[in-house]
């Protein structure tokens, strides 16, 4: 089994302590990391923002955690995941789940190929101590280390 998370969440696809004004800007910044890698086309970002405007903050999947996404046909070239940690958290109007402190963008090429990636990410985020470390990380290097340590410890179990 490959170390899925570090294949996707790395120097190129994460930013720490990003200054964001609102949830739209958070989505654009996190999405741009995947555009720069060639994982998604710019129109994917627009599609994921429109989905939230249409359906409300359903992408806030747990307190403090948002997962932007859209349909594969909205401009996905390959599976991808990015993460930004907003400096002060960002309000999605998601009630008790606000403020969001971990903002992910998921790019899926179909309904199934990303399932393993998401379940691995879910396991990581269920660990509240690791989640807290990610929120507190000041640099991308610290975020990379947290994910690498998580993967190394996971394999020993």
Kindly state the tokens that stand for 11.
């120097």
Share of the chain above pLDDT 90, in %: 88
Question: How confident is the model over 96-133, as pLDDT tens digits?
Answer: 999 999 999 999 999 888 888 999 999 999 999 999 99
- Under the banding of pLDDT at 50, 70 and 90, the label for residue 153 is confident
First to last CA, the chain: 14
Domain positions in the chain are 4-156
CATH of 4-156, one of 3.40.50.300, 3.40.930.10, 3.40.1000.10, 3.90.1150.10: 3.40.930.10
Whole-prediction pTM: 0.95
Give the pLDDT score at 1.
Answer: 37
Beta strands in 5-150 (DSSP E): 14-18, 60-62, 65-68, 80-86, 102-107
Give the pLDDT score at 113.
Answer: 85
Give the pLDDT score at 155.
Answer: 60
Q: Of residues 42 and 152, which shows the higher confidence score?
A: 42
Residues identified as active-site:
69
Where b means 16+ CB within 10 Å and e means fewer, 114-138 reads beebbebbeebbeeeebbebbbebe
Question: How confident is the model over 11-49, as pLDDT tens digits?
Answer: 999 999 999 999 999 999 999 999 999 999 999 999 999
Helix (H) or strand (E) holding 134: helix 128-136
Checking if the pLDDT of 91 tops 80, the result is: yes
């Amino acid at each position: 089994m490959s170390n899925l998370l570090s294949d996707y969440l790395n120097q190129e696809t994460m930013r720490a302590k990003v200054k964001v004004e609102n949830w739209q800007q958070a989505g654009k910044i996190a999405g741009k990391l995947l555009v720069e890698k060639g994982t998604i086309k710019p129109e994917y970002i627009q599609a994921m923002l429109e989905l939230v405007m249409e359906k409300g903050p359903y992408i806030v999947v747990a307190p403090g955690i948002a997962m932007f996404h859209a349909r594969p046909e909205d401009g996905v070239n390959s599976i991808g995941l990015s993460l930004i940690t907003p400096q002060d958290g960002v309000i999605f109007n998601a009630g008790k789940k606000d403020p969001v402190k971990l903002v992910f963008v998921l790019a899926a090429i179909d309904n199934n190929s990303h399932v393993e990636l998401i379940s691995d990410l879910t396991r990581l985020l269920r660990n509240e101590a690791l989640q807290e470390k990610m929120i507190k990380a000041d640099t991308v290097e610290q975020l990379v280390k947290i994910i690498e340590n998580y993967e190394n410890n996971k394999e020993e179990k």
